[in-house]
Structure 1
Amino acid sequence: MTDYGHDLVFGAVLPAAPQALELAHTADRAGLDLVSVPDHPYRPEFTEAWTTLSLIAARTERVRVFPNVANLPLRPPAMLARAVAALAALTGGRVDLALGAGAYWEAIAADGGPWHSPAVAVEALAEAVGVIRALWTPGGPVHLPGKHYTLDGARPGPPVGNPAIWVGALGPRMLRLTGTHADGWLPSMTRIPPGDLPAANRIIDAAAEAAGRPPAAVRRLYNLSPAALGHPRDWPARLAELALVHGVSGFLLPAGAPDHLRRFAGDTAPAVRELVTAARRRARTTPASSPVGR
């Protein structure tokens, strides 16, 4: 049993399209915590992610917004850091940042971006996280040499609200990077099913400990697959198991209809929280139980 003890948060992955604005408004009013949109800037049929997120943030009051996940090869990390800081200032700190090393390399190259091998893409992502954190840290001008990204006297601009950096990691190298550098891990159920979570968590935990961090410093989020979860009446038990057994504490539902968001916020989320709270209470009061968190 691996429960890192985090509070549970629930959110949505909305289509990168004009209807995302109304769906985000519904998510906000329904009581969800997070709203995200995918970032595929090379696909003109999608609305551009940061423009969409900015409008979503302007039309909502409480949800935190983030890209799911930001396409690093087409978005230099210094500009990502500035974009997050700007949106955080405009929203009172309702912004987080999820990053990916890159995929769909042919499309990225067609838009003028680099075509990285997997190893180089991970190397670039590690440098990018360092650049972003440096620009978010108060202090004097930053000089940060790098193979892929360099700062040479850049002025930091710490954002409001302490945004998190989550990484969409799949392979072992990315998982180790997540444990070493990131605030959270954001896989998708379609790419990493629940049965693969224990092995991935072990890699993240080992990397965190090697870096002098507790494994619980890395929040585990999950882009859900409704088809894989079965009937909605079974979702509370399935998500509670993900929290208590696999340490998942952030649940993102792909949603294209307002009713889906309302049911997720009004029915599923409270039921999951109740189940997890009860299980954690029993774990604290039962001497033979496994320890909660780390």
Structure 2
Amino acid sequence: MTSFGLMTAPQQVSYADVARVWREADGIPEIEHAWLFDHLMPIGGDPGGPVLEGWTLLSALAAQTERLRLGLLVTSNRFRPPAMLAKIAATVDVVSGGRLDFGIGAGSRPDVPMARREYEAHGLPFHDSAHAVGALAEACAVIRRLWTDDEPFEFDGEYVRLKGAYCNPKPVGRPSFVLGGRSAATLRVVARHADVWNYPGDDLEDALGRSALLDRFCAEIGRDPASIARSLVLPVFYDRPQVTRDAIAAAEDAGFRHLVLALPAPYPDGVARWVADEILPG
């Protein structure tokens, strides 16, 4: 069974517009989850336009909804120390009553100038890809322990070092780990830590090849590849709904069962109901 969600990238839009879409979607059972992205400056449209910080906004939306699973697709592990991120995410899960899906990835690729600029602008280091992927693996391990260990612990990794690490309160539920990325190195981290793998884009042919590679990495560590759900983000075209309907059918045929429909701004009135009626199968 395929689960469907919406993505509202919080750039070039107002808080009121995003909240309106999420509140509407919360009352539509066919829409099971909703997502924001994690950028500190716009990656599309006016480079100086507004962007709302993802985790702060997610907490506000968690307080205004009751049913939707919710998360960031995906959090940049480059932005926040992992123990701090674990605390932030646990707080959002508590606010939501246990509805968080924890999306995380290595962070922006170095060849995306609009994303790269946000690091220097915020005084954040931008390490190479090997560092980013290694740090992601350690972050996943640390965050899971912070959410499950009953006693403080130490962690002495290559990228993460903690002393007396502890998280209280812990998440209400068990947030799924939704890992995003496509490189072979990242897929090895996905194989070990993810409940859901999100392919960053809608290139189905490439996604299938990466999915097969993920299957191989799972087999190497003795994990059932079927235990990791496969996820795609598909663009919505308000004037050409059949394009999205066709993309959904192709993704389902290819075995992708976690589908996120990205809504372009501005959001029309009643857009969530329109998606359910005009885009979703059945």
Common fold, TM-score beyond 0.5? yes
Shift of 1:150: 1.8
Which of the residues 126, 137, 155 maps onto 1:115?
126
CA distance change for structure 1 residues 257 and 100 in 2, over 3 Å: closer, same or farther? farther
Which of the residues 166, 181, 185 maps onto 2:178?
166
Structure 1 counterpart of 2:214, which letter? Answer: I
Residue in 2 that maps onto 1:21: 19
Describe the SS at the equivalent of 1:46.
coil
Shift of 1:117: 0.7
CA distance change for structure 1 residues 230 and 170 in 2, over 3 Å: closer, same or farther? farther
Shift of 1:107: 2.1
Hey, what's the Cα distance between the residues in 2 that align with 1:30 and 1:139? Answer: 38
Q: Is the 8 Å Cα contact of residues 189 and 225 (structure 1) preserved in structure 2?
A: no
Which of the residues 239, 258, 262 maps onto 1:250?
258
1:186 and 2:191 equivalent? Answer: no
Residue in 2 that maps onto 1:38: 37
Aligned residues: CA RMSD: 2.1
Hey, what's the Cα distance between the residues in 1 that align with 2:86 and 2:269? Answer: 32
Hey, what's the Cα distance between the residues in 2 that align with 1:9 and 1:150? Answer: 37
CA distance change for structure 1 residues 258 and 70 in 2, over 3 Å: closer, same or farther? farther
Describe the SS at the equivalent of 2:148.
coil
Alignment of 1:1-294 (within 5 A): 7-16=1-10, 17-18=14-15, 19-31=17-29, 32-42=31-41, 45-103=50-108, 104-157=115-168, 158-190=170-202, 193-226=203-236, 231-233=240-242, 235-245=244-254, 247-255=255-263, 256-271=267-282
Runs (5+) with no aligned partner, structure 1: 1-6, 272-294
Structure 2 counterpart of 1:15, which letter? Answer: A
Structure 2 counterpart of 1:182, which letter? Answer: A
Describe the SS at the equivalent of 2:279.
helix
Pick which of 126-135 and 230-239 moved more: 230-239
Deviation sequence 1:201-221 (CA, Å, 0-9, x none): 111111112222110121111
Shift of 1:224: 0.7
**TM-score normalised by the chain length of structure 1:** 0.82
Hey, what's the Cα distance between the residues in 1 that align with 2:146 and 2:91? Answer: 12
Aligned length: 261
Q: Is the 8 Å Cα contact of residues 50 and 67 (structure 1) preserved in structure 2?
A: yes
Runs (5+) with no aligned partner, structure 2: 43-48, 109-114
CA distance change for structure 1 residues 188 and 261 in 2, over 3 Å: closer, same or farther? farther
Hey, what's the Cα distance between the residues in 1 that align with 2:216 and 2:125? Answer: 31
Shift of 1:264: 2.2
Shift of 1:116: 1.0
Hey, what's the Cα distance between the residues in 2 that align with 1:37 and 1:57? Answer: 12
Describe the SS at the equivalent of 1:140.
coil
CA distance change for structure 1 residues 145 and 36 in 2, over 3 Å: closer, same or farther? same
Structure whose residues are more often helix by fraction: 1
Structure 2 counterpart of 1:225, which letter? Answer: P
Shift of 1:254: 1.4
Hey, what's the Cα distance between the residues in 1 that align with 2:60 and 2:40? Answer: 17
Q: Is the 8 Å Cα contact of residues 30 and 266 (structure 1) preserved in structure 2?
A: no
In percent, how many aligned pairs have the same letter?
A: 31
Shift of 1:236: 4.2
